[in-house]
Structure 1
Amino acid sequence: MQIIPVSGKVKFPITLDAGVWIFDDRKIKLEDAFNKEDQLENIEENKHTFSSDERFNREVYEATNDNKPIPRKEVDEIFKNTYVMPFEPFYNNVEVSDEATDAILVQEDGNEIAISLDQLKQSFLLFSREGKPLKEDGPVHVYFGDGSNRDNPIKAVKKIIID
């Protein structure tokens, strides 16, 4: 299952569906993820943060069908690459409480790993290897934005708790 709940000391708990990110414009190729210049450009281009009023208006009044056909060449390219999703837009949307001090990454085996809120905010979630979902050690791997765990990401993360 590709569902990752984000809960805890947040104003808006959310559920992430990594299974649909392959067609999300915010995704980044893993090899480009640790290039700070590319990261900032991609995040700014695809910023999706809304206040609660804006979120309501967008979902209720401004619902549109943005499903545009994707050219076959682009689809073929998508399914050849390994992708990560920046966590920052989701972090901003949940509106973390001022009382929160860290984040707990819960793995499939129940193991819990505590990281700082800043590490979480700047992290990348690997969700696709060569265009396919992570089956054996997924649903996502967490890479720190500074690349410090690039060779040893936190694997099999199934839940994120803001504590």
Structure 2
Amino acid sequence: MNSIVTISGSVKYKITLDPGVWIFDDRKVDLTTYFIRKPKESDEIEAYTKSVSKHWDREISEGAIYPPTLKTERRFEREKVLTGSFGIPLEPFLKNAEPLDHTTKVHFITTTGKVTLSLNEAKRALLGFSNRGKPLTENGPVHLYYGNGSNADKPITSIREIILE
């Protein structure tokens, strides 16, 4: 089975996606909780500043030695990666492909046919790439989840290619 998905068609740059490396991507989201609560839009600079500030405060108050709680947090994150179900927003990949001005549709080619969304709907969509810590080998390499979560229980599976028109 091929684990690579391409984004092509009416784009400036053809993009090749390898879902196997997304487990290390900070943009990944937990699919078991993502559609339960409304994801809040956050400013990346503000989030980074808060993260650095928190780390700096911890180093000032506790020194550079990591306390047991931080080690526990890291262990929990490792376990979560090994057992969690994850997805990643499609929008950054569409943005990097740079759709041409006349592009309005996105076709998701599967092993059984195709699903078409508007470009705006596709930008809000998620690509699932992991289920219970395992890559989607049987009906993958990625699953398509609509941004509103309406197909959270039954995503579009077996996506092989994404074509913009």
TM-score band w.r.t. shorter chain: 0.7 to 0.9
Bigger Rg over Cα: 2
* 3-state DSSP of counterpart to 1:10: coil
Aligned partners of 1:78 and 1:37: how far apart in 2? 20
1:151 Cα offset (Å):
2.3
Q: How many residues align?
A: 136
1:76 Cα offset (Å):
1.9
* 3-state DSSP of counterpart to 2:83: coil
Q: Which amino acid aligns with 1:103?
A: V
Aligned partners of 2:159 and 2:31: how far apart in 1? 17
* 3-state DSSP of counterpart to 1:15: strand
- Choose from 96, 99, 104 the match for 1:96: 99
Superposition pairs for residues 1-163 of structure 1, below 5 Å? 1-34=2-35, 35-38=37-40, 40-41=41-42, 44-45=43-44, 71-109=74-112, 111-163=113-165
1:73 Cα offset (Å):
4.2
2:67 corresponds in structure 1 to none
* 3-state DSSP of counterpart to 1:160: strand
Identity over aligned residues, as a percent?
A: 42
Where does structure 2 lack aligned partners over 5 or more consecutive residues? Answer: 46-73
Aligned partners of 2:114 and 2:38: how far apart in 1? 29
The 8 Å contact of residues 29 and 84 in structure 1, kept in 2 or not, is answered as yes
TM-score (norm 2): 0.75
| Larger helix proportion of the pair | 2
Q: Which amino acid aligns with 1:108?
A: T
Listed one character per residue, the Cα deviations across residues 105-141 of structure 1 (whole Å, up to 9, x for unaligned) are: 11134x1221111111100001000111001110111
Q: Which amino acid aligns with 1:78?
A: V
Aligned partners of 2:111 and 2:39: how far apart in 1? 33
TM-score (norm 1): 0.76
1:92 Cα offset (Å):
1.2
Q: Which amino acid aligns with 1:30?
A: L
Listed one character per residue, the Cα deviations across residues 74-93 of structure 1 (whole Å, up to 9, x for unaligned) are: 32221111001011111111
Listed one character per residue, the Cα deviations across residues 14-73 of structure 1 (whole Å, up to 9, x for unaligned) are: 0010011111111000023223334x23xx439xxxxxxxxxxxxxxxxxxxxxxxx554
Aligned partners of 2:11 and 2:26: how far apart in 1? 25
Cα RMSD between the aligned structures?
A: 1.9
Q: Which amino acid aligns with 2:9?
A: G
